[in-house]
Amino acid sequence: MSTSPEKRIKIAYLTHRNAQDKREWSGTLYHMAQSLQKHAGDVVYAGPYNPRLMFFFLKAVNKLSLLILRKRYSVPYNYFLTLLYKFRFTRIIKKEQPDIVFAAAASGEMSQLNIKQPIIYLGDITFNLLKDHYPNYQNLSAFSLWESEKIESKTFRKAAALVFSSQWAAGSAKKDYGVPAEKINIISYGANMDQIPDTQTAIQKSQKGPWHFLFLGMDWVRKGGEAVFNTFELLQKQGYDVKLTVCGCVPPEKFRNPAMTIIPFLNKNNPEDAQQLFQLLLDAHFLFVPSKSDCTPIVFCEANAFGLPVITTDVGGITSVVENGINGHTLPLESSATDYANTIKPYLEDKALYQQLSENSRSYYEQKLNWDQWGKSMSELINRLVK
């Protein structure tokens, strides 16, 4: 008589967003779900859930607060919104009876939950860091600050384990919210691409034509677009054969150059757009995104998958995915175009040096920045909590 296979763990995937849509959170929610299904257990989705009337009301509150108090109101961190989430998701969890709940960047969604199952909270930032580094969360009213911190603290207390993508975020959870070290896990994200080139294809960068810089980002200002453009033009003036592709946004009119290409938007759900993005990453020599504020950008994982060194800044959790001289360079936030140019020029002048950096970047992806390693690490954590 054959024995039945061991029952797979059932994981409730908690987020109000659509985790099956590759456009949500740049595809991170989708790829996490796929990785959990592959390595950890059977995934059931608690979302999407969009209480439109409540969101409409809270956005109106924010506008009113700006008008009267000259202060913002944080829409995602609202007590009554968390109650709506509680009623909705408690009902789904009771129906599905999962073994564990995985809350992906879902502080509001899980803060009021009272369930028997252990909850894993995943995030790439804490509210305390959010309010100091992101414009939409700066200049909040005193009440909104208090309410948001209350919700975040409750979320962290409820979680059986917390998973962050950087030491920066994990350190804040420990320091600012008193989370015990044994509850905190640091697990790197992966590349949000359905198609990944093999190693040899990724590192065979043509060095015969122009050196190709790629800026990928939806926010020209926050992602440091001006620094990219100024560095690119400085290298041109110094005689280097370079070109620049900006993808994801349209820079202001003053940032234009004959050797510059602008691609306003690519939708990964569209096969043609996905293929165009694949080719952009394959053809480029550097991903150049000197962010003014950031967590751990997924696009850096994607760049490494294509053997693409990253030129960026030492802000937020970036140094958890980019190491100086290993898979790119992280410069101080106040760095000038000259500083960036001086960092890049040795690679433009020494093809062997560049090739080594490209190969290192691909190795970094294979060892650390891929969804298989994330899924296996999550599987170990889930099994420990369930069993």
Each residue's pLDDT tens digit, 58-90: 999 999 999 999 999 999 999 999 999 999 999
* Cα 229 from Cα 311, distance rounded (Å): 13
In this prediction, residue 7 carries a pLDDT of 84
In this prediction, residue 22 carries a pLDDT of 83
pTM value > 0.75: yes
* Cα 330 from Cα 44, distance rounded (Å): 39
Tokens at 247, concatenated: 């993808």
Helices (H), 98-192: 107-110, 127-133, 142-158, 167-177
C-beta neighbour count of 61 within 10 angstroms: 15
Tokens at 384, concatenated: 């420990």
Asked if 134 and 221 count as a contact pair (C-beta separation under 8 A), the reply is no
Check residue 321 and report its DSSP letter.
T
In this prediction, residue 26 carries a pLDDT of 84
* Cα 43 from Cα 36, distance rounded (Å): 7
Asked if 107 and 155 count as a contact pair (C-beta separation under 8 A), the reply is yes
Which mean pLDDT values do the consecutive 10-residue runs of the chain (387 residues) have? Answer: 64 96 89 97 96 96 95 96 97 97 97 96 96 88 97 97 97 97 97 93 84 96 97 97 97 96 90 93 97 93 97 95 96 97 97 96 96 98 95
In this prediction, residue 68 carries a pLDDT of 95
